[in-house]
Amino acid sequence: MTGRDKNRSLHKAKSSKQDEFYTQLSDIEKEIKHYKRHFEGKVVYCNCDDPRVSNFFHYFSHNFEKLGLKKLITTCYKNQEMDLFSMNDCEQAIYLEYFGDKNRNNVPDREEIGQKHLKGDGDFRSKEAIEMLKQADIVVTNPPFSLFREYVSQLIALDKKFVIIGNQNAISYREIFKLIEENRIWLGYNNGDMAFKVPDYYEPRETRYWEDDAGNKWRSLGNACWFTNLDISKRHEDLILYKTYSPEEYPTYDNYEAIEVSHTKDIPVDYEGVMGVPITFLDKHNPDQFEIVGITKTWFGAATKTYPPQIQVSINGQRRKVTKLNDGATLKLVSPPHGKTYYMVDNDYYIQLYARVLVRRKGGHK
């Protein structure tokens, strides 16, 4: 990819895609407190942040001694202005290096922070940024959601540890899910609803948008996730199961040998075969308890928003014509699900689902 192409794609990710989100300090504190043992003696790199105003830099610089860090590096993309969100129109960017509190006042003072000019624009894929990444032990940041595949691929290729924010939808990306399936990355602690400050030029939205008393614009995401490859105690906690399997309650798929489990809490304790569970299951996944064997968007192909004309049939026999359904995988059932709405096409029964992760209890049948 040429320099011009990289600049164009990153600017598109930050502007056209509108995924430039400013992470709150409270959200960083709430997540990183679970990883403290990993940071002692390490070099931390935040490579998608304006270092002078980033809460990632604020958190790690003010907790430098407490975490026992060796060095903190932050870089930003094409920005030299003291502005939370630049328009990324400056060709040269800066980076900061911090080695800790020297005058023992417990505050990262300006004279203790080394501010230096980059030769280029600070793109995380630039040669300069990659050289800094090679120095780092752990990367912590909020990368552009639109470039999430490429960003994670770079970290994996350079064998870096990381704690980064992404969108839950990234789980179903072929490249990301393969890493999850291979137990090379997993979800962190605080996944779900998260609020972010956004640039002034973002247009207002009808939902999940507001302005505070100071006029700052805010957006919230209900599916924000922390992705990491640092081991955490959460992923070794067993999911407590209490329900028992019955064919009436757990319909089977006709096009794959598995049962449908609509909610993680309803996973049967006594079923040893493959189960289709919601993506949100990964928030509680323990690799010692469950094996991931696939995902519906991988096995069956991604569904489109518009489906052929269908007849929706409720459990009481009421029917209505349906031409559009929500995004997700449509799985054929051997028999109609008990107590649920299902869809009938040419006398075959279907249930319309979002992507399902296919899992099997450890010790189950192969």
pLDDT value, residue 104: 81
User: 10 Å Cβ neighbour count for 293?
Assistant: 16
Do the beta carbons of residue 54 and residue 46 sit within 8 Å? yes
Does 227 share its domain with 272?
no
Q: Rounded CA gap, 330 and 296, in Å? A: 9
Task: Report d(CA 168, CA 115) in Å as an integer.
Answer: 35
- The position carrying tokens 């302005």 is 211
Beta bridge partners of 44: 72, 138
Tokens of 197: 């400050």
Total count of domains within the chain? 2
Considering the domain architecture, whether residues 226 and 250 belong to the same structural domain is answered as no
DSSP 91-149: S--EEEEE---SSSSSS--GGGEEEEE-SS---TTSHHHHHHHHH-SEEEE---GGGHH
Is 327 found in the same domain as 209?
no
Domain boundary pick from 176, 199, 231: 231
**Adjacent-strand bridge partners of 281:** none
Tell me the residue range of the domain where 361 lies. Answer: 237-366
Q: What is the model's pLDDT at position 75?
A: 86
pLDDT score of 303: 31
- Residue 214, pLDDT score: 92
The per-residue pLDDT string of the chain (366 residues; one tens digit each, 9 = 90 and over) reads 554 554 444 444 444 456 678 899 999 999 999 999 999 999 999 988 766 578 999 999 999 999 999 999 998 765 444 433 343 444 567 888 899 888 888 788 888 888 888 888 878 898 989 999 999 999 999 998 889 999 999 999 999 999 999 999 899 888 999 999 999 999 999 999 999 998 888 888 889 999 999 999 999 999 999 999 999 999 999 999 999 999 988 988 766 788 889 899 999 999 999 998 999 999 999 999 999 998 875 333 333 223 344 444 444 555 444 444 444 445 555 555 555 555 555 556 555 556 789 999 997 544
Is residue 23 located within the same domain as residue 98? yes
Query: What is the three-class DSSP state of 361?
Result: strand
Task: Please indicate, yes or no, whether residues 247 and 266 belong to a single structural domain of this protein.
Answer: yes
pLDDT of residue 254: 65
Q: Of 231, 247, 281, which closes a domain? A: 231
**Are 226 and 241 part of one and the same domain?**
no
Last residue of some domain: 231, 265, 300?
231
What pLDDT sits at residue 218?
92
- The tokens describing 216, both together, are 């700052």
If asked whether residues 259 and 213 sit together in one domain, one would say: no
- Same domain for 289 and 216? no
Q: How many CB atoms lie within 10 A of CB 346?
A: 7
Judge if 227 and 277 occupy the same domain: no
Q: What is the pLDDT of residue 9?
A: 47
Other Cβ atoms closer than 10 A to 76: 26
Full-model pTM: 0.79
Order of strands, sheet of 290-295, starting from the edge strand that comes earlier in the sequence: 259-260, 275-278, 356-361, 290-295
- Same domain for 150 and 182, yes or no, is yes
User: 76 φ, ψ to 5°?
Assistant: -135, 165
The residue type of 67 is: L
- Is residue 140 located within the same domain as residue 35? yes
Q: What is the pLDDT of residue 338?
A: 56
Alpha-helical (H) ranges within the chain are 3-11, 25-32, 55-62, 64-67, 127-135, 148-157, 174-181, 296-299
